[in-house]
Structure 1
Amino acid sequence: MVPIADIIVRAADGGSASLAAHAGKVLLIVNTASRCGFTPQYEGLEALHRGYAERGFEVLGFPCNQFGGQEPGDAAQIASFCSLTYDVTFPLFARIDVNGSNADPLFERLKADAPGLLGTKAIKWNFTKFLVDRSGKVRARYAPTSKPQAIRVDIEALL
């Protein structure tokens, strides 16, 4: 299986981005949306990102419009909303699919490595979170209802 650091994703500008730029860090990878009941989690995600960045932690956001059409904007609109509303500084990538035949390879990998309840692989909603250790191993999957601050203990254990 290809290491997570070798996976190529789409950057917000539509180009390619290698996750190798994030190798050796603890990552929290999240499918996000701007018009979701969980959207206020951007605040907590940003707090984690800022609070642990110096220790080698990053949040990576992947906007997704597959759940209730809650991320309809283009990359510029998404970035503007996140910056102006939640002062987001963590990397946001291009809008992607996380389920189905067009699912992004990164999320296919994350789902395979950390299935949900009862072994289900499909992501159920926006703000599903995956915690990845410094070696690229997926260590945990969190439901959209899991608030970012509740993940602090697990992040600290990996730092």
Structure 2
Amino acid sequence: MATEIERKFLVKGDFTEFIKKSTRIVQGYLSSVPERTVRVRIKGDKGFITIKGIGNDSGTSRFEWEKEISIEDADNLLKIGEPGTIDKVRHDVQIGKDWYEVDEFHGDNEGLTVAEIELDDENQDFEKPSWLGKEVTGQSEYYNSMLMKNPYKNWLH
């Protein structure tokens, strides 16, 4: 079993000079209950199925299992999934020795940009660039599975 340890932040400034790679992602869910999510994702030219468990008290760590599947299988699974999809561009951003995944959301979540950093340990130090905003780790409204149900366009800004 694998454990994912990550911290999540809103993005408040321009990070574009640090982008190393960008990939479009379309994803949906076969199950989005808090105790377990089953995600189907098309990332560039690859398909994936991912199961995530419920997070710990801080929301920093949780079980994650992922397998690559064919694009055709991913497409077919998206068709039978829960209503709605997430459409975003993921930017791989390097700051010193640290790597962030910065997601710029489109469609119903247009205007939302979130940065995540995966860590080896919950207490690991990492470089925080000036464009990193408020930490939203463990705030379920920022989970992709919740953004599908209550998109950013519906929030009071």
**Normalising to structure 1: TM-score of the pair?**
0.31
Structure (1 or 2) with the greater helix fraction: 1
Structure (1 or 2) with the greater strand fraction: 2
**Normalising to structure 2: TM-score of the pair?**
0.31
Report which of the two structures shows the higher radius of gyration computed on alpha carbons: 2
